[in-house]
Each structure stands twice: as structure tokens, then as C-alpha cells.
Amino acid sequence: MNYLITIIGPTAIGKTALSISLAKHFNCEILSCDSRQFYKEMKIGTAVPNDEELAAAKHHFIQNRTIFENYSVGDFEQEAIQKLDELFLQNNIQIMVGGSGLYVDAVLKGFDDFPNIDKSIRNKLNSDFELFGIDYLQQKLKELDAEYYKKLADENPQTLQNPQRMKRFVEVCIGTGKPYSSFLNQKKNNRNFTPIIIGLEAEREIMYNRINQRVDIMIEEGLLEEAKNLYPNKDLNALQTVGYRELFDYFDGKTTLEFAIEEIKKNTRRFAKRQLTWFKRTENVAWFDFKTDINEIINTINSKL
């Protein structure tokens, strides 16, 4: 039997440190499913593990892509499952860690089965998006699948600002004549492992303080310079990310640097709250306070092996 120890929780809660400790204990490797740590140009602002942490345990899917590539959650699912198949030949216990709920679900449960959509529909949506912007896609989804639009607005509003995801939702509605949500939770792919899910959490005030401190550290480590180098490509989908968008506004002269930094902290806190909302819906999670002794977590994992 193969087991995938999966560590979830909000940003800045200590998932990286826990994953490395567990990888050392179980002598296994780590898959990252943080959808922004894939990109080699985005190191400081995505809190990529440092050189010492990367050396402490073998990591996969860290800075393995460039922001100029189109890399979807479906691409990640296929590559992650293939990598796990390889790793399970060496050790029947492996670790996955990250704060991107959709990417976690893609590996643990697989994607829903959607019919092929005529490419002409996506081409027209691309043209409409160029003319009318994200508001047009939002309105179309609201018309064609009000239930799913409301779900996103309530639970994952950042997705409503993602042009690629929104085009996908709308093209399925148009191409099939059915709501996008009608295809969800139908067929799931079989997995050759059993997930053991560990969640880390903290009281909200503590969590927010940790986030604020992390942003200050990022600024000290050179986030401003990193964002400045990425600024010419600010419209790329990968860069529609907290920590960069706010600094792009500063470079555009829309805000002061002090205001931009406070916005990064505020938006990161909001992001953490959405992460918790998503992960709290996940079933069979063993939740621990972020300061819990590692041995207690290991004992819980051992009881499930």
C-alpha cells in the first residue's frame, strides 16, 4: 500500500518546515503543489524554500517552469502522478505540500471528465476578452451557470479574476449547452495511494502576525527588485499574484511604496482566509496547531499506516 502524506494549511503557517522534518523521518521526497512556486522567476514573493531547506530533502516542482509557459493544473496533475509512480517504487511513503487547494485536489482526487469543446468557441472568447475584459467573462458565467458563479464568488473570488479559468468555464457552458457545474463531481480518477492529510492552523491573530512578518522579510530580501525585473511582463497570468500586483501598481505611480506593502499584507491575509475556507471543506484531515510537537504528528501518521 502506498501513502501520500499531504500537508495543507494557510500561507506562512509552517508547512515547509513540517514537510522537511517528515521527509527526513520517513526517508522520502517532497512534491510541492504551490501553483506559484513552479516559476523560476518568482522566488522571493512566493516564499520558495531556501537553499538549506532544498538541500535537506529532495523537492519536486519547485521553480521548474518559466512564467512565459502556459502551465495548467491539468498539466500539473499528469506530471505529479507520473512522478509519484516513480517515487513509490523507492518508498511507499511520499509527501506532498502546498497551499493551492485546487492543485492538492487535482492530485488526490483527479479531475472531472469534460467533453471536448470546439476550438472556435475558445477563439471567439479570446477575442471577446480582448475587447471587453474580465467583466464580460464574469457576466457570461453568471448568465450560463449562476450556481457556479455564486460558489466562486463566495469561496474563491480570485478565480473570477483569472482569464484562463473563466474562459474555460464559459466555453464548457457554451460548447455543451449545460452548466459547467453539472460536470463536477462525476467521475474521479483512481489513485494508487492512500492520502494521509495533515492540516496546520493557528489562531487568526497569530496567523496574521506571521503573514505580516513574512512580508517584511520578503521586502528585506529584495522583493522590490524582483518585482521590478518582472514588471515588463506584468500582464502575464502567472504574475497576477499577491505580492507582485501591488508593487506593479506602485511602479505605475498609482500608490506609494508604503501603501503597496500594506496592501500585500492585507491581500495575503485575505488569501490565507480563503485557503482555510477551502481546506476546511476537505474530508479526513487531522488538524494540528502549528506549534504541535513533531512526534505527535508522526504518531498520528503512524496510526494510519
Query: Which residues are part of a known binding site for substrate?
Result: 11-16
Label residue 236 left, alpha or beta by phi (over 0 means left) and psi (-120 to 50 means alpha).
Answer: beta
The binding site comprises 9-16
Question: What is the DSSP secondary structure assignment for residue 39, as one 8-state letter?
Answer: B
Pairing mode of beta strands 93-97, 3-8: parallel
Q: Could you tell me which residues come within 8 angstroms of residue 31 by beta carbon, excluding any fewer than 6 positions away?
A: 59, 60, 61, 80, 83, 84, 94, 95, 96, 97, 107
The binding site for ATP comprises 9-16
**Closest by Cα among 147, 128, 127, 149 to 138:** 149
Q: Could you tell me which residues come within 8 angstroms of residue 231 by beta carbon, excluding any fewer than 6 positions away?
A: 247, 248, 251
Distances in whole angstroms, Cα of residue 71 to Cα of each of 35, 229, 237: 9, 21, 10
Q: Which residues of 85-96 are buried (b: 16+ CB within 10 A; e: fewer)?
A: eebbeeebbbbb
**Closest by Cα among 49, 45, 44 to 32:** 49
Pairing mode of beta strands 59-60, 194-201: unpaired
Q: What residues pair up with 6 in beta bridges, in sequence order?
A: 96, 197
